[in-house]
């Protein structure tokens, strides 16, 4: 009889141990990125590869789509420069440089990217300070404006048009 109790106790402990293993395993699955939805088996490691220098997207024929994309993108880019560090570290400077170079190949409007990529090769991103970066982008935007026969923006007023908002209290 005593032997039966010992075996039953051991069986219960083993059952609890195995169930808890499945329980914790399931919880960690729930928080992982569901690769199966992206039809990918595992994240690929591209760390040793060079990025493509080719323009990736095709021609964007729809004028309205091209203009909406342009306005939203300029807003994003000018806001990014307005909040870029005043005195960036070497790594931060490299991040901005790499980002803009990759952006010029990945911009979704292929013909725009072709022009912008040529321009960025001639006038590489200025990354030494917030002022340098925001003035550089303003100049690049003006070059696009010029080509599209749009008004030239006064770059001395860039800070008032795209405020940093860096010292404002959190309201959330
Ligand atoms: C990288 C890039 C390349 C593009 N290339 C092309 C192209 O080749 N062909 C094409 O048809 N379209 C191109 N576009 C889209 C085009 O630049 C416009 O965004 C689009 O035509 C809508 O113009 P918009 O008149 O509303 O003003 P946008 O040029 O979109 O500007 C939005 C607002 O930004 C402000 N602004 C204007 N100039 C400046 C400046 N220099 N600095 C800061 N703020 C400024 C103004 O308040 C303006 O209303 C490109 C967009 C991007 C982001």
Task: Tell me, in angstroms, the distance from the centre of ligand 1 to residue 87's CA.
Answer: 28
> 63-161, superfamily in CATH?
ERV/ALR sulfhydryl oxidase domain (1.20.120.310)
The whole-angstrom separation of Cα 8 and Cα 5 is: 5
Predicted TM-score (pTM) of this structure? 0.82
pLDDT at 42: 67
Protein residue with least CA distance to atom 7, ligand 1: 112
pLDDT winner (highest mean) among 19-28, 31-40, 91-100: 91-100
Residue position matching structure tokens 């022009």 = 115
Rg (CA), the chain: 27
Residue 39 has pLDDT above 70, yes or no: no
- pLDDT band with cut points at 50, 70 and 90 for residue 14: low
DSSP state of 157: G
Q: What is the pLDDT of residues 44-100, one digit of tens each?
A: 788 889 888 899 999 999 999 999 999 999 999 999 999 999 999 999 999 999 999
For ligand 1, atom 9, the nearest C-alpha belongs to 112
Q: Which residues make Cβ contacts (< 8 Å) with residue 55, sequence separation at least 6? A: 105, 110, 113, 114, 117
Domain locations in the chain? Answer: 2-38, 63-161
């Amino acid at each position: 009889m005593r032997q039966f109790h010992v075996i039953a106790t051991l069986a219960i402990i083993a059952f609890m141990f195995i169930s808890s293993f499945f329980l914790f395993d399931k919880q960690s699955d729930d928080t992982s990125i569901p690769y199966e939805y992206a039809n990918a088996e595992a994240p690929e490691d591209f760390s040793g590869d060079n990025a493509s220098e080719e323009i990736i997207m095709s021609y964007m024929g729809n004028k309205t789509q091209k203009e909406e994309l342009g306005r939203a993108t300029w807003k994003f880019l000018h806001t990014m420069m307005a909040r870029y560090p005043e005195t960036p570290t070497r790594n931060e400077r490299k991040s901005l440089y790499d980002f803009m170079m990759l952006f010029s190949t990945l911009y979704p409007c292929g013909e725009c990217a072709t022009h912008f990529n040529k321009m960025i090769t001639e006038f590489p991103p200025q990354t030494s300070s917030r002022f340098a970066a925001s003035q550089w982008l303003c100049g690049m935007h003006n070059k696009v404006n010029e080509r599209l026969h749009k008004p030239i923006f006064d770059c001395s007023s860039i800070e008032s048009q795209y405020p940093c908002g860096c010292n404002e209290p959190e309201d959330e």
